[in-house]
Amino acid sequence: MNKLTYLIPPALGTLFSATAGYAYAGTIGALAAAVAALVITALLHFRQMCKLLKWLENPEPENIPYAGGIWDEVFTTLLKQSRNRRKQKRKLSSALTRFNRASEALPNGVMILDKEMRIEWQNRLSAEHFNLNRHQDKDSILTNLIRLPEFHDFMAQSANHQIRLSIPQQHPIPRTLLVTRAPFEKNTQILISQDISTLEQYQTSKTHFVANVSHELRTPLTVISGFLETLHDMPDMPESQRTSFLALMQKESSRMQNILDDLLTLSKLESGHQQQDKTRVNLSLLARQISSDTRTLSDGKHHIEDEITPEIYIDGIQTVLYSALSNLAFNAVRYTPENGHIRIRLIREGARHVRFSVTDNGCGIAAEHLPHLTERFYRADTGRSRQSGGTGLGLAIAKHALAVHQTKLEISSEVGRGSEFSVLFTPAE
């Protein structure tokens, strides 16, 4: 609609008033009537302006006042603009919410710094990496919060864009970060942090593992090599001595074979290759088999008794379960002196669980060793372990085998009184 058409009603009203005034009182009457009409028109517009100002305080669609003429178009236009602004605001709010969710879901920490190294923004992971409070530390200078000389040097060198940084923690192992710098916008830069602590620990563990394997295999290889050289250099060696050497070489060869077998088993468990489909396993029969095999291994040198509740079934992999649980019983034989007592139990514990346990009255294990017993090649008593034929991998195998069955090994021990190794299972329905 042409905006000039809104002028017609007030103009006609003023003209009509002036004509009526002229007819009644001549020129003076016409002027008076015209002025009165204009004043009334001004008052009406003033009233609409008051309505507009009041509505603008809370421009909700349902609160829009009634208006006619040009004011109707004014209110309609403002209402459209208000709706458009609300729509844009919702879009911006939705975009901001999605951005915040995306930033929190990132696997890396992200921080934005201004030209003075003040924190403009950071996601939750970034604050966690650097031990910061994302709200309280906002607008703080980062180098004042992280007082590590290598980090200050990194931030001061424009050419250095990446650094490995060890952040002190409350626990003994520091957090290792891979920190990357990059320009972001004008006078700002972005700091991306990646927690590589697990990778660092894996690399360290891998290095130790290779060193341990090399050490464990070197001893029997050295013995076998030495005996072979002796046999070669002494062709006229007495038969009794030759037989003794061959027996020792056979023993060391068997030890190497056991180490390699255990390494292969452990590798399969860690890689998941032995995570076959689980079946219903008669744990009572398995415990009896382990008890019988333990007596065979002991060869009458220990007092072995068992307490096995019949007809207990669980969902599992029988070969993996045997590997884990037999290791506990066989270790008891290896580390309990002759005439010692060993007890193998499978009993119900409460209404929903059963416990398999192996108890001995051997020398026991000091408390500081207990957290490390399931580490590969860890031995609380190195000399006795090798003498008994242990590979140092049995409890590591048990740990991973039990993890396949969603349970874990529980260990309690006291020096001079013996040890107990136990596992809690949930019976099959």
How many Cβ atoms from other residues are within 10 Å of residue 72's Cβ? Answer: 13
Residue 269, amino acid: L
pLDDT tens-place values along the chain, 429 residues long: 455 455 455 555 555 555 655 555 556 655 665 566 566 666 666 666 677 667 666 766 656 666 666 666 676 777 777 777 778 888 777 777 776 777 777 788 888 899 888 998 888 888 888 889 888 888 899 888 888 888 888 888 766 578 888 887 765 567 888 888 888 878 888 888 888 877 766 666 666 666 666 766 777 788 788 878 888 888 888 888 888 888 888 877 877 776 777 677 767 766 665 556 788 899 999 999 999 999 998 889 999 999 999 999 999 888 888 888 988 998 889 888 899 999 999 999 888 899 999 999 988 888 888 877 777 666 665 544 445 455 667 788 788 788 888 888 898 888 888 899 999 998 887
In the sheet that 418-425 helps form, which strands lie side by side, from edge to edge?
303-308, 341-349, 353-360, 418-425, 409-414
- For 18, counting Cβ atoms within 10 Å of its Cβ (0-12 exposed, 13-18 middle, 19+ buried), the class is buried
User: What DSSP string describes 143-195?
Assistant: HHH---HHHHHHHH-TT--EEEEEE--SSSSPEEEEEEEEE-STT-EEEEEEE
The token duo for 111 is: 């921080």
Q: What is the pLDDT of residue 20?
A: 58
The pLDDT assigned to 271 comes to: 64
Q: 201-271 adopts what CATH topology? A: Helix Hairpins (1.10.287)
State if pTM tops 0.75. no
According to the model, what pLDDT value does residue 384 have? 46
- Name residue 154's amino acid: F
What is the pLDDT at residue 293?
92
Q: What is the pLDDT of residue 360?
A: 92
Q: Residue 228 has what pLDDT?
A: 85
Q: Where are the domains of the chain?
A: 3-96, 106-195, 201-271, 279-425
Res 292: pLDDT: 93
Query: For residues 353 and 331, is the Cβ–Cβ distance under 8 A?
Result: no
Q: What is the CATH architecture of 279-425?
A: 2-Layer Sandwich (3.30)
Domain spanning 106-195: CATH superfamily: PAS domain (3.30.450.20)
First to last CA, the chain: 80
Rounded to whole angstroms, what are the CA distances from 230 to 194, 233, 253, 257, 364?
56, 5, 17, 23, 40
